[in-house]
Amino acid sequence: MSCTQQTKFDFLGFSFQLRKIYEVKDSKVNLWRGYCAAISTKAARHIRNQIMKYKIHRATGADLEQIAQSLAPKLRGWIRYFSPFYPSALREVFSALNARLVRWITNKYKSFRRRKYQAWQKLKEIASDFPNLFEHWKYGYTP
């Protein structure tokens, strides 16, 4: 088997493949490649589909705290299962959730209807003011 051949396999929602591994020691960064487990593309797609099924953007009668409470157990479970090995791989999954929250803002408030950039700014402001509101914000997956 040559070094250029990609070896990858999926197991229990994780994808095992060669990845860049960084180590910071005494303000010195070491970089090497090694096999590391991260969320598989199939599992990430499944989580994004689950987020879409919740139809958060249509819950305009609820406030953000209620949405956060209803999503908290699922988010906590996904984070605790998938983040111990390669947590940065979850950023793409939770950016989809943040996009849904922006869509909720545009549906809830008339002043943000056709102002998606301002809605993103509003969500960033909410995330900085209340960093513990959503479970994924607690772990640094902020908008």
Domains of the chain by residue range: 41-138
Quote the pLDDT of residue 5.
Answer: 62
Q: What gap in Å lies between CA 72 and CA 84, rounded to an integer? A: 18
SS3 of 97, please? helix
Sheet strand arrangement including 28-39: 9-11, 14-25, 28-39
Instruction: Give the span between the Cα atoms of 93 and 80, in whole angstroms.
Output: 14
Q: What is the pLDDT averaged over residues 110-125?
A: 93
* DSSP state letter for 133: S
- Tens digits of per-residue pLDDT, 12-36? 888 788 777 777 777 787 777 777 7
Q: Which residues pair with 11 in a beta bridge?
A: 14
Distance between CA 8 and CA 5 in Å, rounded?
10
Among 107, 88, 100, smallest CA distance to 134 is for 100
What pTM value is reported for the model?
0.80
